[in-house]
Amino acid sequence: MFQVKSIKIDIFEMGKISRSEEIVKKQVLVLYVGGTIGMKKNDDGVYVPVPHIFYDQLKSLPEMHDSGLASKYFPDLADNQLVLPQFENNVILYQLVEYDPLLDSSNLTMSDWIKMANDIKANYNDFNGIVILHGTDTLAYTSSVLSFMIKGLQKPVIVTGAQISIFEIRSDAINNIQNSLILAGCYQIPEICAFFDHKLLRGNRTTKVRLTKFNAYRSPNYGPLANAETAIELKDGNIMKPDPAVPFEVTTTLNSNVRVITFFPTITPSMLESVLQEPTAGVVIQSYGAGNIPSNQPELIDALKKAVARNVLIVNITVCLQGSVVSIYDTGKVLADIGVISGRDMTLEAALTKLCVVLGYPDLSHDQRVELLKQNMRGELTPLDVTDDNNNNNNNNL
């Protein structure tokens, strides 16, 4: 592996040397997990992952590989390394690691999250940033869970994908990969992020809201970390400031016994009890409005109360895309009274994966796990002293 260093080159303008500019070499690791971004149609006319063709496609695209820059300054590139066209005074060399097998993101499991986290850990010190190429269906789950699995992050890890394969015309893959590489290699953004359609979002604030549009993702309760339009504009006030005293750590012990219950008018106690029964250890409730469930059905309340008494961790979030759980109605206060934890304005993806991680921590008491779930661990919760109006003014439109 080559060393990160700076080199000097001469810049010519109108046949004359105008100045000497320092070219800064950056390195970015790209973990190609799978997804639409690299799929092709099979004989049945459906999209499937195809191994061992993505690198050659990237190399053939002048937007993704500058062969002249590579031959002049990096003649000893490895077979899986490419050079992005120069961005300002930065030259980004990126190294592609293709997963085997490649995955449609709907097929991802907890073991795949653990593999990604371990790969980030193993390569963390060797790169300026890391980009994960991922399918769109579960991208928000991956960007959320990685944020909770990784502590003390000091550099960008960006998850991105595409709505149209890079092998097709009009693909959004080139824009998403290019911008992710630049943001990961050239900027100090110490977060797990998601990039899509010119916006960099906090990973655990991200949710998929559109199926076929390029702007498929939104951060309903938090503003973007950066906009990448004609210029790249960082939103410094939205980016977390890391504590240099907190060491980089990765936890890979997760608990899969986490369920989701969405309340609806015809729900019955038996339905609820079937989800709450052992071995369930954690539950995300998606309740009505500001966090409400039927308070006039004591059997439903009793089922939840019994689960809390068994130390099942239950987190209440709103089914609404935007807004926060608050106990302003009797139908919501009843949950707080029996020990259900307010998830405030967390997304479903954040609430579920936070439970998986917190329940996986060894040697914690039940009360300690409850306190962690109430805490704003990785920017997934809006502080209680920030109003919805103030936060939404800082947010991108839905």
In angstroms, rounded to a whole number, what is the distance separating the alpha carbons of residues 158 and 24?
Answer: 21
Determine contact, residues 105/194, Cβ cutoff 8 Å: no
Q: Among 69, 75, 70, 77, which residue's Cα sits nearest to residue 96?
A: 77
Q: Are 225 and 218 in contact (CB under 8 A)?
A: no
Cα–Cα distance measured from residue 222 to residue 374, given in angstroms and rounded to the nearest whole number: 18
Torsion over CA of 367, 284, 329 and 372, rounded to 10 degrees?
Answer: 30
Q: Report the 10 Å Cβ neighbour count for 99.
A: 18
Peptide bond into 242 cis (omega under 30): no
CA distance 111 to 148: 15
Let me know: does 209 contact 396? Beta carbons within 8 Å. no
Q: Which of 195, 211, 50 is nearest to 132 (CA)?
A: 195
Catalytic status, residue 36: yes
Question: Which residue in 237, 200, 233 sits closest to 217, CA to CA?
Answer: 200
Strand stretches in 171-324, DSSP E: 192-196, 199-202, 207-208, 217-218, 226-228, 232-234, 249-250, 258-262, 282-287, 313-318
Please pick, among 36, 138, 206, 382, the residue that the annotation labels catalytic: 36
Residues whose CB is less than 8 angstroms from the CB of residue 162 and which lie 6 or more positions away in sequence, other chains included: 35, 36, 37, 136, 171, 172, 173, 176
Strand partners, 26: 92
Cβ contact 240:191 at 8 Å: yes
Give the catalytic positions in this structure: 36
